[in-house]
Amino acid sequence: MDMKTAVAMRRISKRFGAVTANREVDLTVAASTVHGIVGENGAGKSTLMSILYGFYQADEGTIEIDGRPVAITGSREAIAAGIGMVHQHFMLVDSFTALDNIMLGAEPGWRLQPARAAVRADLQRLMAETGLQVRLELPVEELPVGERQRLEILKALYRGARILILDEPTAVLTPQETGQLFETLRGLRARGTTVLLITHKLREIMALCDAVTVMRGGAVVLDTPIAGTSVDALAQAMVGRRVDLGRRGREATPGAVLLQVDHLTWRDALGVARLSDVSLSLRAGEIVGIAGVSGNGQSELLDVLSGLRAPQEGSLDLAGQHFTPGHWLTPQQARELKLAHVPEDRHARALVLPFPAWESAVLGYHRLAEFCRRGFMRTAAMREATTGMMLRYDVRPPDPGLRASKFSGGNQQKLVLAREAWAGPKVLLVGQPTRGVDIGAIEFIHARLRELRDAGGAVLVVSSELDEVLALADRVIVMNAGRIAGERPIGQCDETTLGVLMGGGHG
């Protein structure tokens, strides 16, 4: 029996000046299926979905929804056609309650209290039908990331979405939250919802999708049922060559201890211990991976080690200097002592998005003699250094004058890593090195981290991706509830062992 078609995009082309983002793209999505759309950063997949949702209008081509031609000139028309979109960076008002976020722009009447009651009743029914449980009375800023995402999906369904576009939905989720999301999406598919899934995670495509479209250079290069492909085939189609994300290179030969922390304890403003009695060492020529479910102290550990927070208890030894809570390491001292830090959130902490790339590329290092003379910035030297960083780290396009916000996520991440590696650090702290990054960029970033290790540096990697920890680390530390739950050399690590430790058990 022929399946009905939910979405048909035919010969879609879109140009931005001299850049062709989509080139005669054909996309057909069967109704009541999960359809994956994959490709490297800049392949054109997000532009294509933005055309479907009305953010952009195609220069050429047509769109059909449920077999009928439609003209989508804005998100209002897309919503009216039954299309909803959940963005990678949530479109929520943090100070509003979950209920008010859903009502915003879709109020059923001008009297807010009766409107809230009516919407709440509708949402209770919808949550019961879909399993998308959200605490409607809480402000968004108090909701965990997984619940915020459920809120975004619920918001789209409340507006009548039968076709749901998800952009990198698991980029900020824990493994448990990812599993819950997949169960939700399978349930929505069973109820007749069509899901278009944009992701870099090919294993997720294989686990969840019915079919997949691969884009490269703005065009479709592969369109296949999931049963007819594999992770390796998809990766090769994405980048045009074979990709290896497994363990590579020589075995580590750890040298001298470059950083040592003992008995760290850090409590938040409410007195809750987010780090409890943490001790660890980083050695030259070694990558140490920190594994754990997000929210178990990894972020606080990075902040303390980089000088962004001072603990209430414990000590740190770095480059012959001893630091205690009353006289803790500062970020400026960290740079002077050859400790560099790639933050977990590149938008909030690593880049100033409206700045041109050359300004973001010297942040924190702008007072160095080669960039500053007698209090004046040497912008020509900064631009020249940025061009070198971009070429060395394959940042595309290699344009120092382009605003940081205009680069894809993978190229933003490579720019941040290039900045921190450029100064030749002895110790590099990296939070979520490949979050939201395509498979080609992942391979590249992993190779650069191994180069830093092989040059005698100590690299600490915090990642919520167990596959990444297993591929990169020479030694793995697992954190649970702010404590070190276990430590293993890589030869004694597997997903089962680490998973038990992450859950608070004894591996």
Question: Tell me: the pLDDT tens digits for 175-214?
Answer: 677 888 899 999 999 999 999 999 878 889 999 999 999 9
Residue 200: CB atoms within 10 Å: 25
- Measured CA to CA, the distance from residue 10 to residue 349 in angstroms comes to 40
Which amino acid would we find at residue 212? V
Q: How far is CA 247 from CA 228, 430, 435, in A?
A: 27, 18, 19
Per-residue pLDDT of 91-111, as tens digits, reads 899 899 999 999 887 767 667
Closest of 440, 399, 445, 381 to residue 418, by C-alpha: 445
Cα–Cα nearest to 214, from 424, 24, 94, 38 = 38
Greater confidence, 301 or 502?
Answer: 301
pTM exceeding 0.85: no
- From CA 194, how far away is CA 190, in angstroms rounded? 9
pLDDT over 70 (residue 507): no
CA–CA gap between residue 391 and residue 387 (Å, rounded): 6
Angstrom CA distances, 481 to 93, 289, 300, 478, 501, stand at 29, 17, 12, 10, 11
Cα(9)–Cα(63) distance, integer angstroms: 5
Q: Which residue has the tokens 């050359």?
A: 358
Question: CB atoms < 10 A from the CB of 338, how many?
Answer: 16
Amino acid at the residue 19: V
CATH number of 5-239: 3.40.50.300
- pLDDT, one tens digit per residue, over 340-351 is 999 999 998 999
Distances (CA, A) of 359 to 323, 352, 354, 436: 31, 8, 10, 23
pLDDT of residue 3 exceeding 80: no
Token output for 394: 């394959």
Cα separation, 185 vs 178, whole angstroms:
10
Please give the mean pLDDT across all residues of the chain: 91
Contact 3, 15 (CB under 8 A): no
* Phi, psi for 107 (deg, rounded to 5): -65, 130
CA distances from 87 to 84, 172, 197, 489 (A): 10, 12, 11, 38
Classify domain 245-338+424-507 by CATH architecture: 3-Layer(aba) Sandwich (3.40)
Could you tell me which of 68, 35, 30, 69 has the C-alpha nearest to residue 49? 35
404: tokens are 């940081």
Over residues 398-423, mean pLDDT: 92
Provide φ and ψ at 212, rounded to 5°.
-145, 140
Q: Do 245-338+424-507 and 5-239 fall under one CATH topology?
A: yes
Integer-rounded Cα Rg, in Å, for the chain is: 24
Q: Which residues pair with 198 in a beta bridge?
A: 37, 167
pLDDT band at 1 (very low <50, low <70, confident <90, very high): very low
Domains of the chain, residue spans: 5-239, 245-338+424-507, 346-423
